[in-house]
Chains A and B, each alone.
Chain A
Amino acid sequence: MAAAQQTKLRWGELEEDDGEDLDFLLPPRQVIGPDENGIKKVIEYRFNDDGNKVKITTTSRTRKLANARLSKRAIERRSWPKFGDAVHEDVGSRLTMVSTEEILLERPRAPGSKPEEPKAGGDSLAQLGKGGAVLMVCRTCGKKGDHWTSRCPYKDLAQPAEGFVDKPPVSESTTAAAGATKGTYVPPSQRAGAERTGSDMRRRNDENSVRVTNLSEDTREPDLLELFRPFGAVSRVYVAVDQKTGMSRGFGFVNFVNREDAQRAINKLNGYGYDNLILRVEWATPRAN
């Protein structure tokens, strides 16, 4: 193959070559930027599997991470050539990625209290009972506070309901949780008797979710929270954001702890003028009943 390079190149021979030795035919690599926004463009040419010349443009943005003060030696190291496997790194290998997910230092539930409840399900249930708020509404039978939807055994097993119970007694809710464990799969490591690692299966309660549409593009989650907080405890605020542009897509969701608060917010804010636009506020999921 080296001989082929030395002698005058004949096009007839090109076909037989495996392409990789023809890299000298390609235009050189081009690096544009980084510009003031930190956007860098790398243009490379190479042969693809079919032997066709392809142009690869990689656009990357370098983020400025805190202007760290570096020692002279460290700056020198910055320009060290790559070695070992790092030399042959492909453009597309993407060994280093920035997480798409925002990771927060999650504080334990209440600073100062015990960090973890031993029994996740029953305890959070009982706590809610104490707080007077009813988070669970059965999607199947619409009953509050007794059971989760997935475990709704229809009317037969349900305790006699006195209309809509607002504050279920604590004991009742714990028995419901205990009874519900049978019949569902429990991994061996979490069965009774096994060492309990206790998963905190706190489901997101999407029951009291309110959809807000026709938001202005400037509206951010804190704004929405400010707008809805007066109606009651809010458990989640979310504004849909376009991944590419970073602009708001004009709608969002607000979850209330209490259904009543959510209803009041809907009554009050639907049609409310906010930032020159008229808000549309409704239940996020159309209700069956």
Chain B
Amino acid sequence: MRPILMKGHERPLTFLKYNRDGDLLFSCAKDHTPTVWFADNGERLGTYRGHNGAVWCCDVSRDSMRLITGSADQSVKLWNVQTGEQLYSFNFGSPARAVDLAVGDKLAVITTDPFMDSPSAIHVKQISRDPSDQTGESVLTIKGPQGRINRAVWGPLNKTIISAGEDAVVRIWDSETGKLLKESDKESGHKKTITALSKSTDGSHFLTGSLDKSAKLWDARTLTLIKTYVTERPVNAVAMSPLLDHVVLGGGQDASNVTTTDHRAGKFEAKFFDKILQEEIGGVKGHFGPINALAFNPDGKSFSSGGEDGYVRLHHFDSDYFNIKI
């Protein structure tokens, strides 16, 4: 395959997200301006100007009309996807790290980093249909975990919130009361910071990637560990194919060490694993720096990766990808 290279960002990529139809790709980077691209040919559709810091995460509503972005400028903004107009800005006292819209797009979960004296927190906000009714009040605030919470997503039926972060523990919270329901086991769980978390299409299980050089597959209801994928470099990004039983891990050595070694030693490929057999299928090379973001097109026929090198690489699979045998 010949990937499409998109050079719209001037700083390392942080997050990639497809809309539900898979025709738009949203990219976030440390350069303050989230960007939307056509996912078929990589043409840039527009940018969302207004943030004043690195943008860490984004999510798009099911009807592809609203975009929510979380940024290090201590704000989370709502945007009109079509015009790039800012609709609302939630302001926090600390940088926002993760955002995720609930099923139905009426609620959003937002995590904030520890900053000054305030510890990290998970906020649940109401999202109004009409942006003029939007308020900034939190429905629920959860505090407790130490260190950054790198990802928080909604569990099945919006009943739970799944969070993971620097303390290497995956937690499931009750989304109404804020009570801690489940915690991953220290023995079987990750040993280092969890950097990425990605839900399956049906939401029944999810994949976490960690700097301990492994990715783990968990049941979203019971938090039982299903599978572990071991690789030879820290994992910064994970994605699951909606079409085949494949998982993709992206990562690479720490960005601060990149210049000291041969680029082949960095292991900047996106590694494909068989979801069930936990065996490596192959690697896709190309980035000149660690991969920070991965996303699968909802149709499963293409995926994109975003790297520390500032490039988004959009890969449309060749036909032989679909009948790889292990």
Contact = CB atoms under 8 A, between A and B. Distances in A.
Contacts of B233: 197
Contacts of A200: 264
Interface stretch (B107-115, B129-137, B278-286): B278-286
B287 to A, nearest CB: 11
Interface string A195-209: 001111100000000
B166 interface: no
Given A68-B299, A189-B257, A116 B232 contact: yes
A117 B3 CA distance: 29
Contacts of A189: 253, 257, 260-261
Interface string A61-98: 01101101011011001101011111101000011111
B219 interface: no
Given A85-B49, A105-B321, A99 B284 contact: no
Interface stretch (B4-12, B173-181, B188-196): B4-12
Contacts of B84: 83-84
A97 B24 contact: no
Contact of A201 (B23, B40, B262, B321): B262
B165 interface: no
9 interchain residue pairs of minimum CB distance: A84-B47, A199-B265, A83-B46, A74-B23, A83-B84, A105-B282, A96-B42, A84-B46, A85-B47
B41 A102 contact: no
A98 B38 CA distance: 14
Nearest to B230: A115
A12 interface: no
Contact of B6 (A73, A96, A101, A106): A96
B2 A89 contact: no
Interface of B: 1-8, 21-24, 33, 35, 37-38, 40-49, 63-64, 82-84, 232-233, 253, 257, 260-262, 264-267, 269, 272, 279-286, 299, 301, 313, 315-318, 321, 324, 326
A183 interface: no
B288 to A, nearest CB: 12
Given A99-B2, A187-B261, A200-B264, A108 B44 contact: no
B2 A103 contact: yes
Residue among A62, A94, A102, A111 having the largest count of chain B Cβ atoms under 10 Å:
A111
A107 interface: yes
A188 interface: yes
Contacts of B253: 189, 197
B102 to A, nearest CB: 21
Nearest to A100: B2
Interface string A137-170: 0000000000000000000000000000000000
Given A62-B41, A103-B2, A77 B23 contact: yes
Given A85-B33, A96-B6, A105 B280 contact: no
B64 A89 contact: no
Interface in A190-244: 190, 197-201
A197 B316 contact: no
B155 to A, nearest CB: 27
Nearest to B316: A65
A77 B286 contact: no
B286 A86 contact: no
A102 B21 contact: no
A111 B324 CA distance: 11
A190 B265 contact: yes
A94 B7 CA distance: 8
28 contacts: A66-B301, A73-B63, A74-B23, A77-B64, A78-B38, A80-B45, A82-B44, A82-B45, A83-B82, A83-B83, A84-B35, A84-B47, A84-B48, A85-B44, A85-B49, A86-B46, A96-B6, A98-B3, A99-B3, A99-B4, A103-B284, A105-B272, A187-B262, A190-B265, A197-B253, A198-B265, A199-B262, A199-B264
B5 A96 contact: yes
B242 to A, nearest CB: 14
Nearest to A118: B232
Contacts of A74: 21-23
B2 A101 contact: yes
A100 B24 CA distance: 24
Given A74-B21, A198-B265, A95 B286 contact: no
Contact of A86 (B22, B47, B262, B279): B47
Nearest to B299: A68
A200 B283 CA distance: 14
Contacts of A116: 232
Contacts of A87: 46
Given A77-B64, A83-B83, A106-B285, A68 B4 contact: no
Nearest to A94: B7
Contacts of B83: 83
Given A95-B7, A101-B286, 7 more contacts: A66-B316, A80-B45, A82-B45, A84-B47, A95-B8, A103-B285, A105-B283
Interface in A114-131: 115-116
B21 A106 contact: no
Contacts of A99: 2-5, 286, 313
Given A82-B46, A99-B5, A70 B257 contact: no
A103 B262 contact: no
A180 B265 CA distance: 20
A101 B6 CA distance: 15
A180 to B, nearest CB: 17
